[in-house]
Homo-oligomer: A and B are copies of this chain.
Amino acid sequence: MNRGVEWSIHVLLSLAWVDDGKPVPTAELAASYALPVAYLNKQLQALVRAGLLHSVPGAHGGFLLARQPEEITLMDVVSAIEGREPAFQCAEIRRQGMGEEAPRSSFRRRCAVDAAMQHAEVQWRKALASQTLADIRTEVGRHAPSAAKIARKTYGRD
């Protein structure tokens, strides 16, 4: 899985903690987690295209959440970075070879291998879609209440 997924989730969490209406530039976000600035910016652009972030160009610009944390799921983040195509892609190799002896009707139904693999992938997607940014924010706040305050201080919001 792409590295940008982890980066994106942490950055979105930071933006959820700040939440003062002012955009946060990539440089500050990158410094918070010791990440390469330009490459993180590339990932954030993907989040903008996916509608998760809103970008403000120009001086004192930056990024801010485009939706409420309750409306952003982990599935949204993964889809934005990794794309929406399934990891397992059936190439229908069952149709090849076999001397073309199999009757056409055999291929009416979906490939059973594909169905089984997609079923597992759906379970994964459902688990990701059921967890929102707000959920994680709450979970972190329960065991590390200082995280939010540190975030605001790091980004000079206090």
| Interface residues, chain A, with chain B CB atoms under 8 Å away | 1, 3, 5-7, 9-10, 13, 31-35, 74, 87-91, 93-94, 96-99, 101-103, 105-106, 109, 112-113, 115-117, 119-121, 123-124, 126-128, 131, 135-136, 139-140, 143-144, 146-147, 150-151, 153-154
Minimum CB–CB distance from A119 to chain B (whole Å) comes to: 6
Number of copies: 2
Jot down 28 A-B pairs with beta carbons below 8 A, ordered by A.
A1-B88, A6-B91, A6-B93, A9-B117, A10-B113, A31-B97, A32-B96, A32-B97, A32-B98, A33-B94, A33-B98, A34-B96, A35-B93, A35-B96, A98-B150, A98-B151, A98-B154, A101-B150, A101-B153, A101-B154, A102-B150, A103-B146, A105-B144, A109-B144, A112-B140, A113-B136, A117-B128, A123-B126
Q: Is the interface of A mostly helix, strand, loop or mixed?
A: helix
Answer whether A146 and B74 are a contact pair too, CB < 8 Å, given A1-B88, A32-B97.
no
